[in-house]
Amino acid sequence: MKQPLSSLNKFTRRATLAAGVAAVAVATFAPVAAQAQAFPTKPIRIVVPFPPGGSTDLLARRIGEKLAAAWGQPVVVENRAGAGGTVGADYVAKSPADGYTLLMGVTGSNAISQALYPKLPYDVVKDFSPVSMVVSSPLVLAVNPTVKANTAAEFLALAKAKPGSVSYGSPGNGTSMHLTGEMYKQAAKVSMVHIPYRGSAGMLTDLMGGQIESTFGDLLVLMPQIEAGKVRPLAVTSKKRHPMLPNVPTLAEAGLPEFEALSWQGLFAPAGTPADVMTKLSTEVNKALKSPEITDYFGSRGFIIEGTTPAAFKSFIEAEVKKWTTIVQVSGAKPD
């Protein structure tokens, strides 16, 4: 039985309409898919939220060189310093989510800042897509050699025996060194006096001179003085011993289970960056981190080369934010 002509015409119109919609959809999404597949097709910027010359800047430049060689596109490092790294981080958080503007973030800008700055203009979890953790380094609990403590256990006993009299210095209020000291106080249940400085140089001078007893200092800053015997390392704040200080125990080994405080650096893209672009970024960054030029250079300077998946780095950031928020709230720490 033949269909009525009117029914056939309706069917034809519907089929034509459906085909038109499909064509529009293909035309709309094909360029997006092609762009993601071809990424990158133009220069990439890595924003460093600190002045040129520091470890974060050097890391960005070394990784940028590797990415440029792999992709045949320029990778430009742009320094946007200010407010403990939050100026540069905010700039990237508000940039287009296309993978062409990245951030070399650090513990302060992308974890501690969430609790430390009440009016932070970005959310460290919601406004970024973590690409990969790049490097980490523990802090070192170190004392002036005249302090009567040769081990972390003896230092803890000294702090408990003299509540509020043992001091520790840091490069400034709200720094990871300051807050690691606060974490130690909370974990060990001791009272210590925090002495903030304007940077590491003055703090280190006073530590060696005996004006302060201790510090939770940066490994790279302390290492020359440790080797010279001018300061004494008692423990590292990582869960594993550091290869440059193999005989120095972790604080977890020294009686504070689960204690961990790391100074880390990692690469971030704005939230919403396409998944396939994130995969390309993460894969190439991790390849770069395995190159001898990076492992040898930064490994010899005390950094632990990391390299993680976006998912693993995201989970790490969430845990870091939770941990440091508790430390800041309990201690009442304020930035300078």
- Tens place of pLDDT per residue across the chain (336 aa): 444 544 444 444 554 444 444 444 444 444 444 444 689 999 999 999 999 999 999 999 999 999 999 999 999 999 999 998 999 999 999 999 999 999 999 999 999 999 999 899 999 999 999 999 999 999 999 999 999 999 999 999 999 999 999 999 999 999 999 999 999 999 999 999 999 999 899 999 999 999 999 999 999 899 999 999 999 999 999 999 999 999 999 999 999 999 999 999 999 999 999 999 999 999 999 999 999 999 999 999 899 999 999 999 999 999 999 999 999 999 999 987
At residue 37, the pLDDT reads: 64
Q: Is 92 within 8 Å of 76 (Cβ atoms)?
A: no
Provide the token pair at 95: 């940039």
Type of residue numbered 266: G
Residue 249 DSSP one-character state: P
Same domain as 126, residue 271? yes
183-206 exposure pattern, b = at least 16 Cβ within 10 A, e = fewer: bbbebbebebebbebeebeebbeb
215/294 same-domain check: no
126 and 152 share one domain: no
Query: Is 5 among the domain residues?
Result: no
- Taking the C-alpha atoms of residue 30 and residue 14, their distance in angstroms, rounded to an integer, is 24
- Residues 169 and 177: their CA atoms lie apart, in Å, by 8
Compute the distance between CA of residue 305 and CA of residue 317 in angstroms, rounded to an integer: 17
Structural element, H or E, at residue 30: helix 5-38
Which residue do the tokens 């250079």 mark?
Answer: 297
Q: Whole-prediction pTM value?
A: 0.86
Give yes or no: residues 55 and 123 share one domain: yes
Strand pairing report for 167-170 and 214-218: parallel
Could you tell me where the beta strands, DSSP code E, fall in the chain?
A: 44-48, 75-79, 101-106, 128-143, 167-170, 193-196, 214-218, 232-236, 262-270, 304-305
- Integer Cα distance of 246 and 256 in angstroms: 19
User: Considering the domain boundaries, does residue 246 fall inside one?
Assistant: no
Query: In total, how many domains does the chain have?
Result: 2
Place of tokens 């460290």: 124
User: Residue 113: inside a domain, yes or no?
Assistant: yes
Give yes or no: residues 113 and 173 share one domain: no
Verify that 149 and 230 share a domain, yes or no: yes
The number of angstroms, rounded, from the C-alpha of 247 to the middle of its chain's C-alpha atoms is 27
Q: Using alpha carbons, select from 56, 237, 60 the residue that is nearest to residue 140.
A: 237
Q: In angstroms, rounded to a whole number, what is the distance separating the alpha carbons of residues 186 and 205?
A: 27
- Give domain status of residue 214, yes or no: yes
Q: How far apart are CA 203 and CA 177, in angstroms?
A: 11
Where do we find the tokens 């941990």? 323
Residue 30 within a domain:
no
CATH number of the structural domain spanning residue 214:
3.40.190.10
With CA atoms as reference, report the closest residue to 248 among 259, 262, 232: 232
Domain residue limits at 188 = 138-236
- Give the separation between CA 188 and CA 214, rounded to whole angstroms: 15
Number of H helices, E strands in the chain: 12, 10
Cα 114–Cα 217–Cα 138 angle in degrees, nearest 5: 70
Spatial distance between the Cα atoms of 278 and 310, rounded to a whole number of angstroms: 8
Q: Do 225 and 292 belong together in one domain?
A: no
Helices 55-71/292-299 angle, 10° precision: 170
3-state secondary structure of 130: strand
Is 168 found in the same domain as 101?
Answer: no
Task: In whole angstroms, give the CA distance from residue 48 to residue 165.
Answer: 39
